[in-house]
Structure 1
């Protein structure tokens, strides 16, 4: 049974998208709905910086159509710390802030680590044990974005597999491109968009990533996000990949 491929961007509030992605004159409060009409997923960035209210999550969920998914970026207070094993209180606060109000629009949680964070098997294993399997009866899916070459280690991939967590496959000039074990879903972060390309990535590269997504969808849902790079081009890149997948 194959999964569904969803493609999106990071966030939805970005001034240079006004007039390039968003039509001139579109009200700022309607921008998320516009994303929902043209893409199939987005990452929530606000949760990385601070706690949100359940009503805020409910409003976001109400702005997008059936089938759309939000990936929720975990709080930096969980992941930007010397000893990850001490993150229990921060993890509980993050998960308990109202994620369940997203309802069936809730996609994976993205746990992003600093590029300077190195792999410590004991500490990272203890951190993975802190990640809850559900919140308010809703199953949670966890994706790990590690950005230091020390994580290019079978021991890390085994820890992630045993925890049922996906390892983010990053397309980035400096971060390692890690291929994790099947966790029932896949998470791609594509970070090489260029301003000189109208669609951020060249047509051939978008086709290649679409093929990668199709291959991974054999094992479950796939979430692919165009982020960073030349951010102004990322919505066009996401729409180009959706169009490619629909062929």
Structure 2
């Protein structure tokens, strides 16, 4: 590395933590369910929070999760499927207001990237995507202003506070090949939104372009979606990619980037072991 270059921070974790098959395997036998996130926090610096995709969570839940992990732990939060899969990015202002009022701002400085996973049938539409990206809040302050417009369903259960003004990072995970379009990439770059690098055993297209000041990686399984473990050779390849993104040598602009990596091959319990192995490999490369 050249003199004066700083490296991005690499965080490797898992996608979710409440899996019965992990109990007595990754989780020690006898560990009570309420302490599983605490155990995750002892072994990883981040986790991808997926319950927020299926339904609006409550402020007490976010506060409890935050209290279970170290202060430097980071939560990636998956955006509501009501926004992405039901409204399909159209007329989303009210839904976004409810989402941001539901409590994720209670994570404070431990709020990490927000993941927006798109349905496979949602094709790249320049106007639609640009409108959606413009609507996403760029800071916690903007998120708070948006949250104040929540509807009556959140009366009495909204979280309308921020501890600090800080930028918000957004990542988008398309599952349509039509997003492999120069116009799409330029649009994401202009808004500073990361294009997720997703390994899906060939089920959905993989995009490798870096479009933001951070990289977001989701590893769903190389051979069998959600089920297969990663081989040592495959993990070494991912460690090489993560390392060059973190130190900037793998980017056209030469900028070091923070990198978030989440293993989602959880069906057979491989995710936490693969995450620990990748973190060790990256640690060796970055010193």
| TM over 0.5, shorter chain | yes
Q: 1:179 to 1:236 in 2, by over 3 A?
A: same
1:78 aligns with 2:107: no
- Residue equivalent to 1:164: 192
Which among 104, 115, 124 is matched to residue 99 of structure 1? 104
**Contact 2:84/2:116 (<8 A) preserved:** yes
Q: Which runs of 5+ in 1 are unaligned?
A: none
Q: Give the corresponding residue for 1:47.
A: 52
Larger Rg: 2
Q: 1:123-148: CA deviations, max 9, x gaps? A: 11111111001224332100000011
Query: Is the Cα–Cα contact under 8 Å of residues 213 and 257 in structure 2 kept in the other structure?
Result: yes
Q: Is the 8 A contact 1:7 1:40 kept in 2?
A: yes
Counterpart of 2:71 in structure 1 is 66
Q: Is the 8 A contact 1:100 1:138 kept in 2?
A: no
Distance 1:121 1:11, change over 3 A: same
Structure 2 residue 227 is matched with structure 1 residue 204: no
Q: 253, 259, 269: which is aligned to 1:222?
A: 259
Out of 143, 152, 167, which is 1:139 matched to? Answer: 167
Q: Given that residues 239 and 282 in structure 2 are in contact (C-alpha distance below 8 angstroms), is that contact kept between their aligned partners in structure 1?
A: yes
Which 10-residue stretch deviates more, 158-167 or 85-94?
85-94
TM-score by length of 1: 0.93
1:187 aligns with 2:192: no
**49-58 vs 207-216, which moves further:** 49-58
Where do 4+ consecutive residues of structure 1 move more than 4 Å? none
RMSD: 1.9
Q: Deviations over 1:29-55 (max 9, x none)?
A: 000010111112111011111112222
Equivalences for 1:23-42 in 2 at 5 Å? Answer: 23-42=28-47
C-alpha distance in 1 between matches for 2:127 and 2:85: 17
More deviation in 79-88 or 179-188? 79-88
Distance 1:30 1:184, change over 3 A: same
Q: What is the CA distance between 1:96 and its match in structure 2?
A: 2.2
- Higher share in strand: 1
- 1:46-78 CA distance string (max 9 Å, x none): 111111222221211111113221100000111
Paired with 1:117 and 1:229, the residues of 2 have a C-alpha distance of 26
Distance in 2 (alpha carbons) for counterparts of 1:226 and 1:212: 15
Displacement, 1:231? 4.6
3-state SS, counterpart of residue 139 of structure 1: coil
Q: Cα distance, 1:87 vs. partner?
A: 1.1
Please give the TM-score of this superposition, normalised by the length of structure 2.
0.81
d(CA) in 1 for partners of 2:223 and 2:207? 22
